[in-house]
Structure 1
Amino acid sequence: MSFSEENIKKIVEEVYLKAEQNCLRDNKTRFAKHVHEVLDEKYNEQLSIKTISRMFDKYINQKEEVSTPGIVTVDLLCMYLGYENYQDYLNTNSSVISKNEDELPQKNRRSRKMVYIIFGILFFTSGITIVWNNYNINYNNNETGIDTTKNVTSEIKKDGSKLIEQLKKQEEKIIEQSVKLGIFHNGSLDLNITRKLQENLFKNYKITFIQLSNINAVTLQKLQQGDINIIKNKSSHYYCIGTVSYRFRQAETNSQLIICELQLQYATYDSDGNFLSQFSNTRNIRANGFTKTEAQANAILKL
């Protein structure tokens, strides 16, 4: 197995970029926390936030005093990217990985599930045993399938194209983060505005609507100021709370038209209660129609 600083740098850069795309808050600690949570929740693996931050320091911020990570850490970073492990990363990216690298000592390797694609092997005798990278794979001509030992948990299929397709689909999986979202009008959830904000601002996030009936103005004001304890839960990473109001009046230039004045205010916080200004705003929109319903719908379309 090849193991080099150049390859590790590429992996850490990919991890950083992916975390940046999946986080609302733009800083190293938030990115490291996100990677830690994904590995813990999706793969039941533990990699400390401090270790991940050190990798960002070394390969993103160019702090050379940070030591090179071990294979266990690199394996987990590759898992976050959607690969089985570091070896799977090398196999998939064989055309771009660094050449002429040192071999990783056997004692430092961590045993994980591995998938092998085998093409064009002709079997003339039964009971052939192939020992490959400490994984024993038994083949038998008389069987339609391929039996593997306990170390190989993924069945090797003869049709390699199907395996490639499956691996590509696995790599394309997006780790979703959850946003708890609610825009309220007169104490009740305004589904039209909430869904519009979901579409415009949180399209790539898993959304849970804030279900609070007849919420009073005091409670709503506390939520918008960052007091999110009454809606906070372990599964949500961010919280967006807001209010919307509508005012209607007759157009001065055309008595048949109704004007809707929409005012929207919303604020977004992370799970620690930190205010996220880039996902908070105040909007004032005006639109008209021949009825209040039409004018209101046209105003919402402008969001």
Structure 2
Amino acid sequence: NRAWQQYNQTQVQDFQSKLKDYLPLDQNTSLDSSAEQIIERILKTKEDFNVTNEALREEIVNIRLESGTNLETIKESYLNTINELNQELLTIKNQYESLDTEKQRLAVELENRTLVLNPDQSKQNIERISSNSLQRSFDEVSIHSSGATCTEDAELGQLRETVALLTTQCAQLDEANRAWQQYHQTQVQDFRCKLRDYFSLNENISLDYAAEHIIEQISKEREAFNGKYEALEKVKENLELESTTNLETIKDSYVNAIEELNQELVVTKSRCEQLDAEKQRLSDELERRTTEFDRDRSRQNV
């Protein structure tokens, strides 16, 4: 009786000891309570993983959203700047063309006045300026019965009574042992029944093997969980790297385009200034020659 009771307690303690590094269980608890604790901890572990995974997935979604928003904001900002520069460049080019036309007109008029004043004076050539774009073990208890050798009839009768008493006690012990054995088996069966939705435990499985099977399955699930989490972490890292790379690429592209527009704008403005100065020079020269022409004609009339 005590042997089966001790056996049952030893089995439960060994089972809990094997699981302590994977599923810490309260000591000196029954199999029934251990099963409930295992289920509770398994569900809590899965819930924690799902919460962690969901948080990481939301973070990835936010990174994608933020990356797209940043890209659109940068694009819009740079495009507005480029449009402003293009408008300014267009205005300067129109001004340049207008100045060039006016310069050509003044040059022709000046040439005509020169021919009137001095027919032999050579024509002045004016160059046009062009512009250019842009990721068990267990010890069996043997019941030793000893018999005694009877030497006398009185002792034999007493021995028979003793044997009968011992037989009755043995039967009671056997019944108690069977009861403890049945209790142990019932406990193990109830234990398997409670865990069948979470672990695939075979019938008639020992607690020792059940502990090994639970440890193996928990290890596989944790490995799978970690693999999924690492994969999501890799996706997040690649997304952050891609986002940064895309931002830098777009920035470089737009900055280069803006620099080219600014350079062209500076060149065009400089040419406009030169053309305006040349136009002013031609205008002054034309005015001077017109004055001379009027003076000479006035003399001729006198």
Answer whether TM exceeds 0.5 for this pair: no
Instruction: Tell me the TM-score normalized by structure 1.
Output: 0.17
Higher strand share: 1
The structure with higher relative contact order (CA 8 Å, sep 6+) is 2
Larger Rg: 2
Instruction: Tell me the TM-score normalized by structure 2.
Output: 0.17
